[in-house]
Amino acid sequence: MRYVFAVLALLAVVFGLAATKFEQISSLISMGHAMAKAGPPPEAVGTTVARVDTWQETIEAVGSVAAARGVTVSNDAPGLVSAIHFESGKMVHEGDVLVELDSNVERSQLAAVEARRELAQINAGRTRALVATEALPRSQQDSDDAVVKTSRSDLEALRAQVARKTVRAPFAGKLGIRLINLGQYLNSGTPITSLEATETVFVDFSLPQQRLNTVSLGMPVLVVIEGENDKPPADGVINAIDPSIDAITRSLKLRASLPNRDARLLPGMFAKVSVVLPDKRDVVVVPVQSVVHASFGDSVFIVEDRKDSEGHAMPSPAGAAKVARQQFVKLGATRGDFVSVLDGLVAGQEVVSAGAFKLHNGASVSVNNSVQAKAELTPHPENR
CATH number of domain containing 325 = 2.40.420.20
Q: Which of 25-29, 79-83, 279-283 has the lowest mean pLDDT?
A: 25-29
Domains: count for the chain: 4
Q: What's the pLDDT at 311?
A: 54
| 90 lies in some domain | yes
Report whether pLDDT(259) > 80: yes
Residue 206 main-chain phi, psi, to 5 deg = -130, 150
If asked whether residues 208 and 236 sit together in one domain, one would say: yes
Report whether pLDDT(322) > 50: yes
* Cβ atoms 78, 188 nearer than 8 A: yes
If asked whether residues 360 and 272 sit together in one domain, one would say: no
* Cβ atoms 161, 102 nearer than 8 A: no
Q: What is the mean pLDDT of residues 143-153?
A: 71
C-alpha of 276 from chain center: 15
CATH number at residue 142: 1.10.287
**∠ Cα 249 252 255 (to 5°):** 130
The model's pLDDT over 102-130, given as tens digits with 9 standing for 90+, comes to: 877 777 677 777 777 777 677 767 777 66
Q: What's the pLDDT at 312?
A: 55
* Cβ atoms 308, 323 nearer than 8 A: no
If asked whether residues 251 and 274 sit together in one domain, one would say: yes
If asked whether residues 273 and 253 sit together in one domain, one would say: yes
Q: What is the mean pLDDT of residues 237-257?
A: 92
| 26 lies in some domain | no
Give the 3-state DSSP-derived string for the chain, with helices as H, strands as E and coil as C.
Answer: CHHHHHHHHHHHHHHHHHHHHHHHHHHHHHHHHHHHHHCCCCEEEEEEECEEEEEEEEEEEEEEEEEEEEEEEECCCCEEEEEECCCCCCEECCCCEEEEECCHHHHHHHHHHHHHHHHHHHHHHHHHHHHHCCCCCHHHHHHHHHHHHHHHHHHHHHHHHHHCCEEECCCCEEECCCCCCCCCEECCCCEEEEEEEEEEEEEEEEEEHHHCCCCCCCCEEEEEECCCCCCCCEEEEEEEEEEEECCCCCEEEEEEEEECCCCCCCCCCEEEEEEEEEEEEEEEEEEHHHCEEECCEEEEEEEECEECCCCCEECCCCCCCEEEEEEEEEEEEEECCEEEEEECCCCCCEEEEECHHHCCCCEEEEECCCCCCCCCCCCCCCCC
Q: What's the pLDDT at 317?
A: 47
Q: Give 203's pLDDT tier (boundaries 50, 70, 90).
A: very high
Report whether pLDDT(327) > 60: yes
| 373 lies in some domain | no
Q: Which of 58-62, 260-264, 379-383 has the lowest mean pLDDT?
A: 379-383
Containing structural domain, residue 238:
59-67+199-280
| 131 lies in some domain | yes
If asked whether residues 334 and 270 sit together in one domain, one would say: no
| 236 lies in some domain | yes
Share of the chain above pLDDT 70, in %: 83
Report whether pLDDT(57) > 50: yes
Q: What's the pLDDT at 318?
A: 47
CATH number at residue 249: 2.40.30.170
* Cβ atoms 227, 297 nearer than 8 A: no
Average pLDDT, whole number, for the chain?
81
Q: What's the pLDDT at 202?
A: 92
The model's pLDDT over 345-362, given as tens digits with 9 standing for 90+, comes to: 999 999 998 888 888 888
In residues, how long is the chain? Answer: 384
CATH number at residue 172: 2.40.50.100
| 160 lies in some domain | yes
215 vs 163: which has the higher pLDDT = 215
Rg (CA), the chain: 43
d(CA 229, CA 379): 8
If asked whether residues 94 and 120 sit together in one domain, one would say: no
Q: What's the pLDDT at 256?
A: 94
d(CA 332, CA 338): 10
If asked whether residues 205 and 63 sit together in one domain, one would say: yes
Q: What is the mean pLDDT of residues 72-95?
A: 89
| 72 lies in some domain | no
Q: Give 23's pLDDT tier (boundaries 50, 70, 90).
A: confident
If asked whether residues 170 and 97 sit together in one domain, one would say: yes
Report whether pLDDT(101) > 60: yes
If asked whether residues 85 and 132 sit together in one domain, one would say: no
Q: What is the mean pLDDT of residues 218-239?
A: 84
If asked whether residues 211 and 241 sit together in one domain, one would say: yes
| 376 lies in some domain | no
Report whether pLDDT(64) > 90: yes
